[in-house]
């Protein structure tokens, strides 16, 4: 069961997102940080510190959806699903029963894709605790194992499951809807081999997941590269 413990904040994930942001020219934050920096930052709502929280950013993101290909490689939606469990926090289910698990189960059923097939992940990271919870709810880490996987380099650019290589909401920036769309833009760049110094080895099949409200609405999508 997910619990809001200090270990769940996973300060290492903020350090990882900052490291990824250093290689993106459009990222809001360009200074490397350490776990000690995260832990020493101003308390916001314990156990969350200032550096556990995404910034309020200016910016935007855009992409074009076309029936016809514009290059040698195409990207198609393999499967997508959503779940909505509540509107207000007072009606929220237990943290172990949020909609991410429902959405990913439906998306896997619709696409025929298993998590083991995924080569790149883009996951909503408004707070370090949100990211840790979603990584486990989506099956990208076992229960209680998200922080350890981050520390071990599993989600790094050269790791087994590259994650948010632009720096995510935590370090690339969060400008509302455009902040979440930046995850999709980065995923498309990775899948088409246009991510420059951020390019990962293989982004042929990607998982995107976003949440909205107070962890109320969840959408999971699998994208597949086609030639």
Whole-prediction pTM value?
0.93
In a domain, 121, yes or no: yes
pLDDT for residue 6 is more than 80: no
Q: What is the pLDDT of residue 162?
A: 98
The listed range with the strongest mean pLDDT (90-94, 97-101, 151-155) is 151-155
> Is residue 43 in some structural domain?
yes
Q: How many domains does the chain have?
A: 1
pLDDT band at 95 (very low <50, low <70, confident <90, very high): confident
Which residues have C-beta within 8 Å of that of residue 46, sequence separation ≥ 6?
Answer: none
What pLDDT is recorded for position 184? 97
Domain that holds residue 193: 6-226
Which of 36-50, 87-101, 184-198, 205-219 shows the lowest per-residue confidence on average (mean pLDDT)? 87-101
Q: 1 lies in a domain? A: no
What are the CA-CA distances from residue 207 to residues 25, 50, 111 (Å)?
24, 28, 11
């Amino acid at each position: 069961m997910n619990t809001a413990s200090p270990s769940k904040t996973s300060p290492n994930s903020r350090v990882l997102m900052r490291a990824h942001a250093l290689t993106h020219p459009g990222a809001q934050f360009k200074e490397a940080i350490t776990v000690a920096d995260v832990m020493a930052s101003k308390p916001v709502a314990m156990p969350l510190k200032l550096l556990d929280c995404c910034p309020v950013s200016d910016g935007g993101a855009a992409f074009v959806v076309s029936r016809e290909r514009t290059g040698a490689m195409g990207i198609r939606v393999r499967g997508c699903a959503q779940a909505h469990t509540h509107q207000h926090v007072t009606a929220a289910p237990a943290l172990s029963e949020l909609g991410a698990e429902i959405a990913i189960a439906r998306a896997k059923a619709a696409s025929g894709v298993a998590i083991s097939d995924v080569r790149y992940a883009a996951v909503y990271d408004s707070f370090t605790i949100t990211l840790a919870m979603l990584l486990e709810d989506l099956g990208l880490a076992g229960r209680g194992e998200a922080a350890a996987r981050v520390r071990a380099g599993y989600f790094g650019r050269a790791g087994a499951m590259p994650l948010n290589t632009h720096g995510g909401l935590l370090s690339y920036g969060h400008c509302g809807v455009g902040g979440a769309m930046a995850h999709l833009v980065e995923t498309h760049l990775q899948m088409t081999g246009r991510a420059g110094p951020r390019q990962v080895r293989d982004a042929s099949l990607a998982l995107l997941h976003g949440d909205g409200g107070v962890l109320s609405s969840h959408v999971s999508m699998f994208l597949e590269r086609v030639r």
